[in-house]
Amino acid sequence: MRPNTKRLEGGLRTRDKSDKKIKERFPLVSVVTVVFNGERTLEQTIQSVLKQTYNNIEYIIVDGRSTDGTIEILKEYEDNIDYWVSEPDKGIGDAFNKGITASSGEIIGLINADDWYTEDAVETIVNSYIENSDCIYHAKLQYWDTNMHPSYIFSANDEKILTRGTINHPTVFVPKKIYEEVGLFDTNFKNAVDYEWLIRAKLQGVKFCYLDTVISNMRSEGTSDEKWFNNYVEILRARNLHGMSFLRNIFYFLEMVIITSFI
């Protein structure tokens, strides 16, 4: 059977019912979720956005034309989603770019359908944004094991971003003006697309602001999954692309592979 390539869309914006506004004390925050065949976890992600303590949020969901029950979930929450679209894409970077382009908020957060926010995540970011609007904001990430027990907390370090993947994108919020300066995601990357963008931003001199608190959650993936190796290969490619020492890059690549192999 040939896949259905028809474009579907919905949400409040398509019915002229979205009333989100950019306000001086309560800036509009756009949250973008990208999903493909995420019926098992998508609802938890949606609920985590809808239950935020900060209420001036524009919610956008970009689906890669799922073939499971994802679209039914989107329709079920249609009155709580500002805009959703479902159509084939060229990978996660392409989906991110669609969501960013569709966003009208001052700040943009990206949260995948496997991840979810703490209830005060957006409020925490906005409080920092009001104090300093020229940062890429990032924070701690709580990992959960396959039995949904808290596993470990990942503490980010942007000072090491040029040598290691030290920031997890579910904790990252970026002022839209910084996306306009740095550019969108490079769709030539499939696994480390977020890492390549963070390197680019760092090399362009964008300031990073770390918040010492958990704002996002992620399910742990098993090390038997080949995705981790592909991710490291792309991290190596991203560093080489941006002119960093080839020999040093190879050293860090081998170090990551050896450490991960024994975890």
| Residue range 167-182, pLDDT digits in tens | 999 999 999 999 999 9
- Triad 241, 190, 141: Cα angle to 5°: 95
Pairing of strands 29-35, 107-110: parallel
Give pLDDT, residue 258.
52
> Which of 205 and 261 is assigned the larger pLDDT?
205
Res. 255 pLDDT band, cuts 50 70 90: low
Task: List strand residue ranges (DSSP E) for 6-69, in order.
Answer: 8-10, 29-35, 57-63
- When pLDDT is cut at 50, 70 and 90, the band that residue 260 belongs to is low
Average pLDDT score over residue span 112-133? 96
Mean per-residue pLDDT for 34-54?
A: 97
Those residues with Cβ within 8 angstroms of residue 90's Cβ, 6 or more apart along the chain or in another chain? 187
Q: Mean pLDDT of all residues in the chain?
A: 87
Residue with tokens 């499971």: 68
Q: In angstroms, how far is CA 142 from the centroid of its own chain?
A: 15
Looking at the predicted structure, is the pLDDT value of residue 133 above 60?
Answer: yes
Based on DSSP, count helices (H) and strands (E) in the chain, helices before strands.
Answer: 8, 10
Task: Assign 102 a pLDDT band (cuts: 50, 70, 90).
Answer: very high
Q: For the residues 83-88, what does the mean pLDDT come to?
A: 97
Under 8 Å CB-to-CB from 124, ≥6 apart: which residues?
139, 211, 213, 215
Structure tokens at 82: 């500002």
Q: What sign for the dihedral angle of Cα 49, 50, 52, 54?
A: positive
CA distance linking residue 185 with residue 197, whole number of Å: 6
Q: Is CATH 3.30.300.30 what the domain over 8-220 is classified as, yes or no?
A: no
Instruction: Indicate if the pLDDT at residue 49 is higher than 70.
Output: yes
Residue 239: the pLDDT is: 76
User: Is residue 141 over pLDDT 60?
Assistant: yes
